[in-house]
């Protein structure tokens, strides 16, 4: 079964509005969460890495004031796309890394959120 959930799975919003995406680790504590973005026919691009209780580390070219990340607990991270524009339309995927049973410290992906900004 799924070990990482994302909500919503898809969202359509108007240009200028903000959208919040939640990522939860379901049966383990995620010490680190990653947010990726994937445009059509492109590879997953890491946007930012967050450790619980500390500020996120953003990759070069990703605006931290536009993509707000909160990793307030070991099971929840949120990504807020502020003042969304059509060019922000993309597939956003979170990933959680932590110790999970005998599998050890692995990275698990959420099902993704498809954002369309009109």
Partner 1 sequence: RKEVEQDPGPFNVPEGATVAFNCTYSNSASQSFFWYRQDCRKEPKLLMSVYSSGNEDGRFTAQLNRASQYISLLIRDSKLSDSATYLCVVKGGGSQGNLIFGKGTKLSVKP
Q: CB 42: neighbour CB atoms within 10 A? A: 10
Kindly give, in sequence order, each residue whose CB lies less than 8 Å from that of residue 96, ignoring residues fewer than 6 positions away. Answer: 3, 4, 23, 25, 28, 30, 32, 33, 34, 77, 107, 108, 110
| Nearer CB in complex with partner 1: 44/68 | 44
Q: What is the CA radius of gyration of the chain?
A: 14
111 near partner 1, judged by CB under 8 A: yes
Question: From the CB of 111, what's the least distance to partner 1, in Å?
Answer: 5
The stretch near partner 1 (CB under 8 A) out of 11-19, 22-30, 67-75, 107-115 is 107-115
Size of the site for partner 1 (CB under 8 A): 18
**How, if at all, do strands 10-13 and 57-58 pair?**
unpaired
- Spatial separation of the C-alpha atoms in residues 25 and 7, rounded to whole Å: 12
107 near partner 1, judged by CB under 8 A: yes
93 near partner 1, judged by CB under 8 A: yes
Among 3, 24, 50, 110, binds partner 1 (CB under 8 A): 110
Q: Which residues bind partner 1 (CB under 8 A)?
A: 32, 34, 41-46, 49, 91, 93, 95, 107, 109-112, 114
């Amino acid at each position: 079964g799924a070990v990482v959930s994302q909500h919503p799975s898809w969202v359509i919003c108007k240009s200028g509005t903000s959208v919040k995406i939640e990522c939860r680790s379901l049966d383990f504590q995620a010490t680190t969460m990653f947010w990726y973005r994937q445009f059509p026919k492109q590879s997953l691009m890491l946007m930012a890495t967050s450790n619980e209780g500390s500020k996120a580390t953003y990759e070069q070219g990703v605006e931290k004031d536009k993509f707000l990340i909160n990793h307030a607990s070991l099971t929840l991270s949120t990504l807020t796309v502020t003042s969304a524009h059509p060019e922000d339309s993309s597939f956003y995927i979170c990933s959680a890394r932590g110790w999970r049973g005998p599998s050890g410290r692995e990275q698990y992906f959420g099902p993704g959120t498809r954002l369309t900004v009109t």
